[in-house]
Each structure stands twice: as C-alpha cells, then as structure tokens.
Amino acid sequence: MTNKYMYFIANWKMYGDLKSVNTLDKVIKFSKSNKNNKFKLIYCPPYTLLSLFSSKLKKTNINIGAQNCHVNDGYGAFTGSVSSKMIKNVGANHVIIGHSENRAQDDTNLIINRKIKAALMNKLRIIFCIGETLMERKRKKTKKILSNQITQGLKGVKNLSNIIIAYEPIWSIGTGKIPKINSLSKDINYIKTFVQVKFKIKTVKVLYGGSVNTKNINELKEISLLDGFLIGGASQNPKNFIDIVKKTFI
C-alpha cells in the first residue's frame, strides 16, 4: 500500500467550535512539508465551521467537505436544512452522504439517491457511505445489504467518477471494534467487484471507516485494495490524524 494514492477524510461529526480552526495548523504544516503527493486530506467539519475551515485551508492542498446535504439542490423553504449549492458556495468540494448516523434518522436509500444527484448537480464529490448492522452480519446478509445500498443509492447515476465509496460497518463505528482483516479484505473486494460489474467501470475508490485510530491502522493498511480511510474521533486530534497518515506509508 505504500506506493498507493490514499484518501484520509476527517469526519468531525457534531464536534468543534470557532477555536477548532487552530488545530489545523499542525496538519497544514505536515501537508506542506510532505512532497510525495501520495495522499489527499479532506476535512468534513460541521456546517457552522465550513466557511471558516475553507478560508483557513484556501492556499493549501487540503480539501473541505460537508457531512450531509438536503435533497433539494438549490434554495427553498426548508427550515434548518443546508443544500449542496450552499455547501459549494462556501468553498467545500466534497460531501458525505449515507452515513449510518443519518440513515438512522430516516435517510432511506431513495432519499440518499436524491441527495447524491443533488450534490452531483452542484459539482460536489460524493463520499457515499454504506454498511451493515451486527445482526445483519451475523445472519450473513452483508453482501445483500451492501449491494442493495449501492444499487438504490446510485440508481440513475451515469458517471461514477465523482463517487468515493466508504464502507463503514455500523457495528464498528465508535465502538473501537474493527472487522477481522481477512474478512474486511473480502468485503472491500466484493464492493469493488460489484460496482465495476454493475456500472461497467474499470475502477472505483473504496475507503474503510469505523473506529480507525493510531493503533489499528497498522492492521488496516495491510488491505491492499483499500484507497483510504474515513476517520471519526481520531481526526479531531491533529497529532493522531497525522500519525494515521504517517503509519499508513511506513
């Protein structure tokens, strides 16, 4: 994996305040000092920090993403919502869609599909999350769940060049548990093969997310098919985030 171009996406969830922008300094310095161009860093802070992060990272090669968007691609009478057009206007170029925490709040595959299409309309790159519950995994329904989420979520999307898939087993998120490496490798291979055959494309980027930290990255990096990681809690600490990147390429 050391010769591979990798994504490291920081999903801050509902954390961060105005002072949080200062935590970017170490990561910016690290990014500028590293000339191998083998990785892309993407920060996905809460909506309230998008503009501030965008300004801070404007002259760097670190990208900005939002954590979700509305199904409407422009403006409208949707109190409390944020559209992909608004996200684009504040300088973001990525958006996470389909995260299990949003699926748990009634984001169905149909809604996720509409959000993806709306975001693509505004030229955002999609970080499309998929994953199964522990019960579904125990009942050996992982492949069925993943294929349904992919098929329905990407229905009608003709060009997948701006789609990055993030496999996040729901039972792994925030629990400190990660799948066994052999099993996870098979899941990543299944996702890639399914998408390539279903949509008749040669390549697709697939990331892993779920309790990624400085300790288990040494195991996870052994999966040669992986194209990077979607990182939650560990990404809020600049040292930990940098260490995860460094350890991936050791």
Rg over alpha carbons for the chain, rounded to the nearest Å, is 17
**CA atoms within 13 Å, Cβ hemisphere of 78:** 12
Q: Rounded CA gap, 28 and 62, in Å?
A: 8
Q: What is the distance between the alpha carbons of residues 178 and 156, in angstroms, rounded to a whole number? A: 32
Contact yes or no for 6/38 (Cβ under 8 A):
yes
Cβ atoms of 93 and 63 within 8 Å: the answer is: yes
Strands 205-209 and 163-167: parallel
Query: Which residues are identified as catalytic?
Result: 99, 168
